[in-house]
Amino acid sequence: MKTPIQKNPIIVSLLAGSILVPALSGAAGAGSKDWWLDLEGGVEYSDNVALEQSDANSTSGDVAAVFELDTGYKLVDEKNARVEVGYNFYQSIYQDLTEFNWQSHNPSLMGWIRQDGIKIGLEYSYTNSLLDDSFFLEQHMLSPTISAFVSEDFYVTGYYRFYSKNYNESDNARDADTHQTGADVYYYFDRPNKGFVSFGAGFTSEDTQGDEYDYDGLMARASVQHPIQVFARKGHVKLSYAYQKRDYDNEISLAGPGTREDDRHTLKLVTNVEIDDGLKAGIELRRVTRESNLAESDYEENIGAMSLRYSF
């Protein structure tokens, strides 16, 4: 289950944070159906509901119903080329802390070509996000990528991402142009069943309208995904960790002398199992630790979630 977009580069990453496993999807190529539609619903509990896109955290726990829709269509689907349009919708509804209800709309356009085993891609996405039913953030993202299998089992991908972020009037100081570069290496120890180990790193530079939010950041991430069987049903268990260090530029970030520094850690365990054709059940445990010399950005959050996902 995805978390709200932010989707903050570190989470998205995982949380997507990272580069999603793209290696085998391209191998399907022509012959697969031209469209997809995934519906997911579930429940999520956080012991400290927080808004990753800002420094806000509630210091209170709450439970939320979560719904996600993911759909798309392949305009071109050839062995060595693909162009597809997509749309993702996400909604969280909290029982008590309704001011943290999050909704996002995310249309996208993606394409890639492959020549001599090297895949070159380009993706554009637009995100419009609402917080408590009011506009909070719109974001444009443009990302060229390059990737290839360098051996039978090793897959390497590199990317550049440009984000243009526009927040609501009360957060105009956070409006930003963000540049991000990075790379990931995957080792497939069970390629047919998508068993792999991955490592990645990246760099982020964010230039905001309000100088107090300018920062440069380093990222590192690692994950392992292992195929499993539960009562003869196939599935996966995935353990991932992401780290981001942010060094802010200006002293105005703090009430006292010095500049703001953040260390952000995200540890996530995800298990999913096929219940029936097209139907999967998932369990996710996530721990977010934000260490900062800015008091309101120094907190921990533990999250547990259960979901069902149906793919048409």
| Phi, psi values for residue 11, rounded to 5° | -85, -45
Q: Which residues pair with 272 in a beta bridge?
A: 236, 282
Q: Is residue 108 part of a domain?
A: yes
Nearest-5° Cα angle at 120, 115 to 122: 145
Question: How much is the pTM?
Answer: 0.87
How many structural domains are present in the chain?
Answer: 1
Segment (H or E) for 14: helix 11-14
pLDDT at 1: 59
DSSP 13: H
HSE-up of 59 (CA within 13 Å, CB side)?
Answer: 4
- Tell me which residues of the chain have a pLDDT lower than 70: 1-31, 252-257
- Sequence length of the chain is 312
Token pair for 307: 């979901």
Q: Is residue 242 part of a domain?
A: yes
pLDDT at 54: 78
Q: Is residue 4 part of a domain?
A: no
The answer to whether residues 160 and 178 touch, using CB atoms and an 8 Å cutoff, is no
Q: Is residue 2 part of a domain?
A: no
User: What range does the domain containing 170 cover?
Assistant: 11-311
Of the candidates 290, 285, 282, which has an alpha carbon nearest to the alpha carbon of residue 304? 285
pLDDT at 14: 35
Burial 98-123 (b: 16+ CB within 10 A, else e): eebbbbbbbebebbbebeeeebebeb
pLDDT at 186: 98
Q: Is residue 205 part of a domain?
A: yes
pLDDT at 309: 98
Q: Is residue 44 part of a domain?
A: yes
pLDDT at 5: 40
Q: At 40, which CATH number?
A: 2.40.160.40
pLDDT at 6: 38
Q: Is residue 267 part of a domain?
A: yes
Q: Is residue 168 part of a domain?
A: yes
Cα–Cα distance list, 290 to 124, 245, 261, 282, 294 (Å): 30, 10, 10, 26, 10
